[in-house]
């Protein structure tokens, strides 16, 4: 994931979910970890940690119907949409890589060897739990001719979006703007 907060290494350090986007990211990751933990027992504790964070956030923000606002519901829908777009990107990238591997008579474990990774780490990369390095992406492009737009996460972090928005206002360039689908906070 481009969202560094929810990279597998960082999620263990999370003490609280801060937003609807965090909640949706945590839920999506917990879902992936449910089936991945069957092959990698080290992921069980990470999933338990996420489930605890999710439960705490939902209790704090969604347990009292009287205080749930329309803005909160809108934020939740937007977050759900962004997470779905990111998930779609991960699936398309994974499919392209698997197709290239099959075409060349290789398996995912062979790709791990080519990229210099452990098989379990390769699985984390393929499933979007960890980000591919720039070098990994270039190797995939060069070896298999998979286009960069399929390999590289196309989303812009919220902090970057905010900086660009302010800069465009200062430059007085209202015709230039980022679209919702361009965004993905980290």
pLDDT digits (tens, 9 = 90+) for 148-164: 999 998 777 777 878 88
- Looking at the structure, tell me whether residues 99 and 44 fall in a common domain: yes
- Looking at the structure, tell me whether residues 106 and 175 fall in a common domain: no
- Looking at the structure, tell me whether residues 81 and 164 fall in a common domain: no
Residue 52: pLDDT over 70: yes
- Looking at the structure, tell me whether residues 91 and 177 fall in a common domain: no
- Rounded Cα–Cα distance for residues 97 and 127 (Å): 11
What is the pLDDT, as a whole number, of residue 50? Answer: 96
- Rounded Cα–Cα distance for residues 2 and 155 (Å): 7
- Rounded Cα–Cα distance for residues 42 and 73 (Å): 34
- Looking at the structure, tell me whether residues 88 and 169 fall in a common domain: no
What is the pLDDT, as a whole number, of residue 3? Answer: 60
The angle at the Cα of 141, spanning 1 to 157, to the nearest 5 degrees, equals 30
How many domains are there within the chain?
Answer: 2
Write out the residue range of the structural domain in which residue 137 sits.
4-155
- Looking at the structure, tell me whether residues 102 and 179 fall in a common domain: no
- Looking at the structure, tell me whether residues 91 and 15 fall in a common domain: yes
- Looking at the structure, tell me whether residues 162 and 127 fall in a common domain: no
- Looking at the structure, tell me whether residues 148 and 176 fall in a common domain: no
């Amino acid at each position: 994931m481009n969202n560094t907060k929810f990279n597998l290494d960082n999620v263990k350090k999370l003490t609280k979910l801060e937003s609807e986007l965090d909640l949706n990211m945590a839920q999506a990751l917990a879902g992936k970890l449910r089936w991945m933990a069957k092959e990698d027992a080290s992921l069980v504790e990470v999933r338990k940690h996420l489930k605890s964070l999710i439960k705490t956030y939902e209790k704090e923000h969604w347990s009292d119907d009287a205080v749930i606002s329309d803005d909160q519901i809108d934020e939740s829908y937007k977050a759900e949409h962004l997470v779905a777009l990111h998930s779609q990107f991960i699936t398309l990238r994974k499919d392209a890589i698997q197709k290239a591997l099959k075409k060349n008579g290789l398996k995912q474990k062979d790709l791990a060897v080519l990229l210099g990774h452990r098989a379990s780490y390769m699985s984390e990369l393929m499933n979007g739990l960890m980000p591919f390095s720039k070098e990994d992406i270039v190797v995939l492009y060069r070896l298999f001719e998979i286009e960069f737009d399929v390999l590289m996460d196309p989303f812009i972090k919220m902090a970057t979006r905010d900086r660009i928005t302010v800069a465009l206002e200062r430059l007085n360039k209202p015709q230039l703007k980022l679209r919702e689908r361009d965004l993905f906070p980290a």
